[in-house]
Structure 1
Amino acid sequence: MSNNEILNYLKNAKIEANVLKKICKYFTEDYTAIQTAQNLNLSRQTINNYYKIIRNLLLSKEDEMLYMIKNTHFSNNTLLIKYIKNGPYINYFIECQKKAFIFKNNENTFPNLQKFIDNTIHLPLQNNKKANAAKISFNKKENKFTLLYLTKSDDTIQGFIQNRLKKFRGLNKDSLYLHLKESQFRYNYSQDFLYETLLSLLHLKKSNVAYISTLKQAPSLVL
């Protein structure tokens, strides 16, 4: 479902704006769908529907932010590529200045980077018990990545995500990715920023000036 389809769905939904704001508030405070449903006297299915909408909107916003950072700051710098293990799934992400940006195999934001990971980094990292990250360099002129060395990085982001996901049971692969992206957003930004972002995405506030201001202060990919 595209963002426009989501917004059209919300326009026709039988839910008042103040109730939707409360759903956003509970979501921001990381309430489960069951908890939010009980507090608002709504069905769990209703809350699950809105939670899924919120997660999809956050996913598109995270991709937009990553794309902006790439175009404004991604130059001849070194990057740290790490991976998160969640059961049988492995997701790679860029880590910079205590922020993490997860990406999937089919994303086009860094197409050459994904190919580089698949061909150069994946197996060495999986076979190295002491390393969980790869330091690489990027030559913007040649659009080329080079592996510098494997290294051990702190597991702050992985610990944060795994602790969050403990409360959810039976996540399939598609749901897992949405939860990973949500966890990424929560790791990178404060609850207040998350709430204001949701209000802006759902057109529940008059201005998104605060959000635009934060985007302008996005960190460069310099380690």
Structure 2
Amino acid sequence: MKNKYLKGAHLSERKFKEILKLFSEDLTATQIANISGVSRVTVNSYLKKIRMQIVKYCESVMPEPTGYPKIQHRNGHDTAVAVKSEVDRIVKPVIFGIYKADDKVFTEILPDVSRSMIQAIARGRSVLETVVTADRIRRFHGVVDLGQYRLYNLNGSSHTEHGKQLDDVDGFWGLTKHRLAKFKGLNRNTAYLHLKECEFRYNYRNEELYQVLLNLLKTHPLNLS
């Protein structure tokens, strides 16, 4: 069946666009399945692939951090949060940094940062003896502890820019907190997918998201094989 947005699809282009439209309106998989008449299993499969394509796009436009390597994530696998080579395990809970660049908000999961490290830095204490230095964490304008649903604003920018950046950090976190609350507990394996989806939605909040997604998937169609 020909579908320029979904290679190898057994679903018509019209039906897929209906699912994409409902996704852009931020409906749940259950709601989309009920409205579209497509099974929830199939809808979940498509939504995961859409989110993975969003992740790839967000990573492709993310600025390279100055002086620090970008943490690599295995977005093609179920375990969405990967650890750096020098980290023996993923530190719980999920912690991510937020920063603004080029009028967009970007996020990065920090698998080697602990809750105690964030709290120490937020109080102005040094954590230079840890794997991640205070300077590295402070390059973010905010850090979120998803275990406590708490945002820590960090003074990582100049005084003249700081207010506007914090407004965007707070705005992004408000959107993200509201969206993630719908899931009533976020699975660690899909945390990265949902985080990047929130980033994408926030950065294109003033545009028609459905059209943005159509353009993205027309250029980079999904592949079911």
TM-score tier (shorter): 0.5 to 0.7
Residue in structure 1 matched with residue 17 of structure 2 by the alignment:
21
Identity %: 35
1:100 aligned to 2:115? no
CA shift, 1:173, in A, is 1.4
Structure 1's 88 and 135: CA in aligned 2 closer, same or farther, altered over 3 A? same
Residue in structure 1 matched with residue 34 of structure 2 by the alignment:
38
Structure 1's 130 and 46: CA in aligned 2 closer, same or farther, altered over 3 A? closer
Structure 2: distance between partners of 1:130 and 1:18: 41
8 A contact 1:93–1:100 mirrored in 2? yes
Residue in structure 2 matched with residue 52 of structure 1 by the alignment:
48
Unmatched runs of 5 consecutive residues or more in structure 1: 1-6, 76-86, 107-116, 138-149, 206-223
1:153 aligned to 2:166? yes
For 2:155, give the aligned amino acid: A
Q: Which protein has the bigger helix share?
A: 1
Q: Which runs of 4+ in 1 moved over 4 A?
A: none
1:118 aligned to 2:124? no
Structure 1's 204 and 27: CA in aligned 2 closer, same or farther, altered over 3 A? farther
Q: What is the DSSP-based 3-state SS (H/G/I as helix, E as strand, rest coil) of the residue aligned with 1:103?
A: strand
1:167-211 deviation line (CA, Å, top 9, x unaligned): 113421131111111111111113744322321233289xxxxxx
Alignment RMSD (CA, Å): 4.0
Number of residue pairs matched by the alignment:
160
8 A contact 2:55–2:196 mirrored in 1? yes
For 1:51, give the aligned amino acid: L
8 A contact 1:29–1:191 mirrored in 2? no
Residue in structure 2 matched with residue 132 of structure 1 by the alignment:
153
Q: TM-score, normalised by structure 2?
A: 0.58
Q: What is the DSSP-based 3-state SS (H/G/I as helix, E as strand, rest coil) of the residue aligned with 1:164?
A: helix
CA shift, 1:39, in A, is 0.3
Structure 1: distance between partners of 2:103 and 2:96: 17
For 1:120, give the aligned amino acid: A
Q: What is the DSSP-based 3-state SS (H/G/I as helix, E as strand, rest coil) of the residue aligned with 1:187?
A: helix
- 1:183-202 alignment runs, 5 A limit: 183-190=198-205, 192-202=207-217
CA shift, 1:98, in A, is 5.8
CA shift, 1:133, in A, is 1.5
Structure 1: distance between partners of 2:95 and 2:172: 14
1:83-103 deviation line (CA, Å, top 9, x unaligned): xxxx93210021247631012
Structure 1's 130 and 21: CA in aligned 2 closer, same or farther, altered over 3 A? closer
Unmatched runs of 5 consecutive residues or more in structure 2: 67-91, 112-130, 144-149, 221-225
For 2:133, give the aligned amino acid: N
CA shift, 1:131, in A, is 5.7
